[in-house]
Amino acid sequence: MTASHRLLLVNGPNLNLLGIREPAIYGHETLADVERLVTDTAAERGVEVRAIQSNHEGVLIDAIHAAREDCAGIVINPGGLTHTSIVLRDALSGVALPVAEVHISDVRAREEFRHHSYVADIAVVHVIGEGVAGYARATRLLLDVIAGAAEG
């Protein structure tokens, strides 16, 4: 499979607790549900997904760096790293792949510290506050950008 037929799905710290952690905010769907949703959505267009979740910033950065060799784009929910990690932002910028930023909750309507995203100016797609279903929309929009059917 060529790079044009693969996406990297990145989920940051604490997203392994989806379905358990604060279900009133994040819902009852699990990380496995998210990965299945993105995989199925990408498969509609013949695209494969490689998924990673880690609570360790360096592991995520290594996966992002590796993606430049065999992926056409990145769908990412950086979790709390959204608001704190310049090095994650630099990794995304450095690989020069189109990025879709996803957040399950509406981070703009939550605590003040969640309002800033270091990923926002790197991402060509932003899907915020649509729950887990937002991952499917972000995947479709990113694939449109990659195919040249939409501007990022």
Residues recognised as catalytic = 26, 103
What confidence score (pLDDT) does residue 108 get? 75
- Check the annotation: does 45 bind a ligand: no
pLDDT tens-place values along the chain, 152 residues long = 456 699 999 999 999 999 998 787 788 899 999 999 999 999 999 999 999 999 999 999 999 999 999 999 999 999 999 988 999 999 999 999 999 999 998 877 667 766 789 999 999 999 999 999 999 999 999 999 999 987 76
- Check the annotation: does 114 bind a ligand: yes
Query: Domains in the chain, ordered, with CATH?
Result: 3-147 (3.40.50.9100)
**pLDDT tens by residue, 14-44:** 999 999 987 877 888 999 999 999 999 999 9
- pTM, two decimal places: 0.93
What confidence score (pLDDT) does residue 103 get? 93
How would you classify the pairing of strands 48-53 and 73-77?
Answer: unpaired
- Check the annotation: does 64 bind a ligand: no
| Tokens (6 digits) for 44 | 């509609």
